[in-house]
């Protein structure tokens, strides 16, 4: 039997995890012959609810699920992990300012970054989903000085798959016909879903759709999709977020398709004038586990302005938590 791969999921009793855990256990990340250990982290008050999830995981009798560790201790959860899905975060409550949410969740990611730094596999791949995801990832990176910054990314893959899907629906084609879509910036409503380099069956996407659809429908639909899902479902995106988390990690493991790229929020190297170190969503390719920002794309004034707005917002978030960096 192959050595089991260690995967931690935080916020394991939450709604995203309720989809994510079962897909991981079914082998959707690492394939049908790779056993896994699932390490589930929750806060103490949620351990009771996590018990129910645990029962259901056992009830599936997954052949690949070698062992399950349940804990409220991050050190135990992160010990030797190869892949870390940091989903757990405090939800925004009524009357809570975005800045309060930022402070409270920032503390969580400072602690988790420090502990990953101490006990995780040196080649760990960490995906931060908990919001505000970009800035949480920045905090984790800064608190994990012994791990390479490119071990970490924040999730903008859901925005990316939303963008692909909207374009495919508009063109009446399968999502596989769409390539080179980009989501730039922050995982917030400021994000910039960009079709200037996108191709539909090899043809420039913007030559197939009219500009007013791009500006007035496509961009806001992708930006506000999360809000619309909450309005319709009464709860935030969960299954689609879990799917995006798996797609993101699979791209890290398997690499991106030739001629295509995906969107990931990674530490900026200064590309496109974005301040170095900010965790910013770029078009990236992945080869042999290394994430490379796609360089040299031509950006018009409209796009540059959108990129700057995102940079500004992320700088403000960074400044609000600078005591943790
Ligand atoms: P839930 O509120 O259902 O679950 C979150 C879980 O995290 C809870 O069970 C809670 O007890 C746990 N938790 C809180 N603090 C923790 C800590 N310190 N350690 C471990 N666990 C902790 O939220 P859910 O719908 O699952 O969403 C989770 C996070 O993903 C939220 O921050 C949400 O805003 C964010 N999202 C991010 C997306 C993205 O694309 N980056 C999209 C979906 C989602 O909105």
Q: Specify the residue with its C-alpha closest to ligand 1, atom 42.
A: 241
Beta strands 178-179 and 152-154, pairing class: unpaired
pLDDT value, residue 323: 83
CA 104 to ligand 1 centroid distance, Å: 13
Q: Where are the domains of the chain?
A: 5-154, 157-320
Cα(166)–Cα(43) distance, rounded to whole angstroms?
Answer: 37
Who contacts 268 (Cβ-Cβ below 8 Å, separation ≥6)?
274, 275, 276, 277, 278, 279, 280, 282, 293
157-320: CATH class: alpha beta
pLDDT(96) > 80: no
- pLDDT per position as a tens digit, 219-233: 999 999 999 999 999
Helix (H) / strand (E) containing 76: helix 74-78
Q: What fold characterizes domain 5-154?
A: Rossmann fold (3.40.50)
Q: What is the average per-residue pLDDT within 35-54? A: 98
Active site residues: 187
**Which atom of ligand 1 lies at the shortest distance from residue 74's CA?**
19
If we measure between CA atoms, which residue out of 126, 114, 121 comes closest to residue 152? Answer: 126
pLDDT of the residue at 324: 83
> Which residue is closest in CA terms to ligand 1's atom 20?
42
Rounded percentage of the chain residues whose pLDDT exceeds 90:
91
């Amino acid at each position: 039997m192959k050595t089991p791969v260690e995967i931690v999921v935080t916020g394991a009793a939450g709604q995203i995890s309720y989809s994510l855990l079962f897909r991981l256990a079914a082998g959707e990340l690492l394939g049908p012959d790779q056993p896994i250990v699932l390490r589930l982290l929750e806060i103490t008050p949620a351990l009771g609810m996590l018990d129910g999830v645990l029962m259901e995981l056992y009830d599936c009798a997954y052949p690949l699920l070698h062992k399950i560790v349940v804990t409220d201790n991050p050190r135990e959860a992160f010990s030797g992990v190869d892949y870390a899905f940091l989903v757990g975060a405090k939800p925004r409550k009524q009357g809570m300012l975005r800045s309060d949410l930022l402070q409270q969740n920032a503390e969580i990611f400072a602690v988790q970054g420090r502990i990953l730094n101490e006990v995780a596999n040196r080649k760990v791949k960490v995906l931060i989903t908990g919001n505000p995801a970009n800035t949480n990832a920045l905090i984790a990176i800064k608190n994990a000085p012994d791990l390479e910054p490119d071990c970490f990314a924040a999730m903008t893959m859901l925005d990316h798959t939303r963008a692909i899907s909207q374009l495919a629906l508009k063109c009446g084609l399968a999502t596989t016909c769409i390539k080179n879509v980009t989501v730039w910036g922050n995982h917030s409503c400021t994000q910039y879903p960009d079709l200037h380099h996108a191709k539909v069956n090899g043809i420039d996407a913007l030559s197939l759709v009219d500009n007013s659809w791009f500006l007035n429908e496509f961009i806001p639909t992708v930006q506000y999709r999360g809000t619309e899902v909450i309005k319709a479902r009464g709860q935030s995106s969960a299954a689609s977020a879990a799917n995006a988390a798996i797609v993101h990690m699979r791209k890290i493991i398997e690499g991106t398709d030739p001629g295509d790229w995906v969107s990931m929020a990674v530490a900026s190297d200064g590309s496109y004038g974005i301040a170095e170190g900010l965790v910013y969503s770029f078009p990236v390719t992945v080869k042999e586990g290394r994430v490379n920002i796609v360089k040299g794309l031509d950006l018009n004034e409209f796009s540059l302005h959108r990129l700057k707005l995102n940079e500004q917002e992320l700088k403000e978030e960074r400044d609000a938590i600078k005591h943790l960096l």
